[in-house]
Amino acid sequence: MYKVKKIDLCAGEFTVILHEKDAKELGVRNLDRVRVVGPKSSITAIVETTDSIVDTEEVGLLEIGFNTLEIKDGMNVDLMPTTRPESVDFIKKKMNGQELSQEEIRAIVKDIVDRTLSDIELSAYVTAVYINSMNLREITDLTKAMVETGDIIEIDKKPIFDFHSIGGVPGNKVTLLVVPILAAAGLTIPKTSSRAISSACGTADIFEVLANVTLKASEIKRITESVGGVIAWGGGVNIAPADDLIIRAEYPLAIDPYSQVIASVVAKKKAVGAEYFLLDIPIGQGTKVPDEELAKKYARDFMDLGERLDIRVECAITYGGQPIGRAIGCSLEASEAMMALEGKEVAGSLIEKACGLAGIMLEMGGVVHGSGKEYAKKLLDNGKALEKMKEIIQAQGGDPDIKSEGIKIGECKFDFITNTGGYIAEIRNKHLVKIARAAGSPKDKGAGVILKKKGGDKVEKGEVVFTICADNERKLENAKSIAQRLVPINIEGMILQKIPSYHRPSVL
């Protein structure tokens, strides 16, 4: 028997820290596995050896191990060496380019969710799927396995609608308009959203400025059934939990394996019982889907997958070559969305996109038979969407009387002034994201970038092109120097490039 000691480290896998002597005695080495048997339950954990953090006859377990085993510091556990799980063989099969069966995919997903796989094994899975991909049958089974290994939220107010934007466009706060518009039209939309991984901020980060987004499954059900819509953080509820664990390996490698993206998105929709699903695929420089060809492939595969899972999927390929609206950053975007709902003047791109997307769903739901977009715009103009937004904010514990101008923005500001006149030929999405992040987004809610000019706009020398906001001077300085180095906005004369004639007139 070994006495357990709590080691508070965050790791993606179950780890057991063993004294080198004990490891030798057990015949295990680093990265081997042991079964940790507690009084109530047992886990399989991956060995890391030490010669001082624990003593002999002591084992270190991380918090997650303590919780799962339901044990307390100082209690006794038993250890038994065990082999690597079968799922590692299935990962290897995918590395060898073979098709995986439903059972094999289930075993991998289960072991990911159970945190049985080490970082090395998880990374091999992600890399293998990135390189060798999965066919639609495998993606369907992957989606099902991701749904089955998490909670399922059953909402009684049917039919259920859902919506997702593939990432890459800064300023894409459309969800904050789409959800209240749909709910105002009487549709049910239990929207779960993500936080930023590499973007400036995710929808969950933005809506958190207005209300609580960390909701339990039961709260999502209750709020959706009573108000019609919810905007919750997907990571706060245990739906398709494999996704977050897989992201642990995708994030450092900065990859989004195609098949995994599709399965992860659809699994989260299936888990909330979505029957109608609209996918927004922004294309353009800096987005995740750079061109129309790939966007169409995504659209086809999402629709095919939907068919196999009884979800009616429609896709909208949208323009993502520059930010949506003018604001990038949590509070800035929350404020801009509220302005749109309040009927104040905002960039046309935001209204255009939000109403366009909401309109498609209104048509899918049979709410309107004419133009869904016009109907959506009406709900925005007549204040019904704002009213619904207030209900959602209140239901999620926020202040329903919040106004766009009442949202606190970072007080340290820097105006980026152009020293040349002309037209805005290009706004580089990725550079803006870097600047917003350097300014403190998404952690500092008030940080971000406000675009004073957008693509095609005319600017004069000395005009402000964009403003950086930050919560403190140090970060503002950092963001400012990055902005000056990267120059995220390209200003040129209307004639962008002059191609000289090959046959020049002779000068002789």
- Beta carbon of residue 279, minimum distance to a copy of itself (angstroms, whole number): 25
CA neighbor of 447 nearest in space, from 481, 486, 474: 474
Size of the site for a copy of itself (CB under 8 A): 46
Instruction: Tell whether omega for the bond before 252 is within 30 degrees of 0, i.e. cis.
Output: no
User: Which regions of 238-370 does DSSP assign to beta strands (E)?
Assistant: 276-283, 312-319, 327-328
DSSP string, 52-86: SSS-TTEEEE-HHHHHHHT--TT-EEEEEEEPPPH
**Interaction between residue 9 and a copy of itself (CB under 8 A):** yes
**Interaction between residue 305 and a copy of itself (CB under 8 A):** no
**Interaction between residue 48 and a copy of itself (CB under 8 A):** yes
DSSP string, 494-505: SS------SSPP
Contacting residue, 37, 130, 225, 394, with a copy of itself by CB under 8 A? 130
The DSSP call for residue 506 is P
Contacting residue, 127, 149, 203, 318, with a copy of itself by CB under 8 A? 127
**Options 125-133, 215-223, 456-464, 497-505: segment touching a copy of itself (CB under 8 A):** 125-133
Given a contact cutoff of 8 angstroms between Cβ atoms, the answer to whether 4 and 14 are in contact is no
Contacting residue, 2, 4, 7, 424, with a copy of itself by CB under 8 A? 7
Q: Pairing mode, if any, of strands 422-427 and 458-459? A: antiparallel
Which residue, 97 or 370, is less far from a copy of itself as judged by CB?
97
**Interaction between residue 205 and a copy of itself (CB under 8 A):** no
Contacting residue, 55, 58, 114, 119, with a copy of itself by CB under 8 A? 119
417 three-class SS: strand
Binding to a copy of itself in span 441-480, by CB under 8 A: 443, 475
Tokens matching residue 253: 């490698």
**Interaction between residue 490 and a copy of itself (CB under 8 A):** no
Contacts of 26 (CB under 8 A, 6+ apart): 18, 34, 79, 81
Q: Pairing mode, if any, of strands 276-283 and 161-165? A: parallel
Q: Binding pattern to a copy of itself, positions 423-442, x when CB under 8 A?
A: --------------x--x--
**Interaction between residue 88 and a copy of itself (CB under 8 A):** yes
Contacting residue, 37, 152, 255, 425, with a copy of itself by CB under 8 A? 255
Helix, strand, coil % (nearest 5) of the chain?
Answer: 40, 20, 40
The DSSP call for residue 132 is H
| Helical packing angle, 136-148 and 102-113, nearest 10° | 40
Tokens matching residue 203: 């929808």
**Options 1-9, 351-359, 374-382, 403-411: segment touching a copy of itself (CB under 8 A):** 1-9
- Among 205, 243, 256, 444, which one carries the catalytic annotation? 256
- Beta carbon of residue 255, minimum distance to a copy of itself (angstroms, whole number): 7
CA neighbor of 435 nearest in space, from 472, 476, 463: 476
Which residue, 247 or 402, is less far from a copy of itself as judged by CB?
247
Rounded distance between C-alpha atoms, residue 104 and residue 161, angstroms: 31
**Options 119-127, 340-348, 361-369, 410-418: segment touching a copy of itself (CB under 8 A):** 119-127
**Interaction between residue 51 and a copy of itself (CB under 8 A):** yes
Contacting residue, 24, 300, 461, 485, with a copy of itself by CB under 8 A? 24
Given a contact cutoff of 8 angstroms between Cβ atoms, the answer to whether 77 and 26 are in contact is no
256 tagged catalytic: yes
Q: Pairing mode, if any, of strands 327-328 and 458-459? A: unpaired
Rounded distance between C-alpha atoms, residue 155 and residue 224, angstroms: 8
Q: Binding pattern to a copy of itself, positions 164-203, x when CB under 8 A?
A: ----------------------------------------
Contacting residue, 3, 5, 58, 95, with a copy of itself by CB under 8 A? 95
**Interaction between residue 294 and a copy of itself (CB under 8 A):** no
Active centre residues (catalytic): 256
List residues binding a copy of itself (CB under 8 A). 7-11, 17, 24, 27, 30-31, 48-53, 84, 88, 91-92, 95, 97, 118-124, 126-128, 130-132, 248-249, 251-255, 437, 440, 443, 475
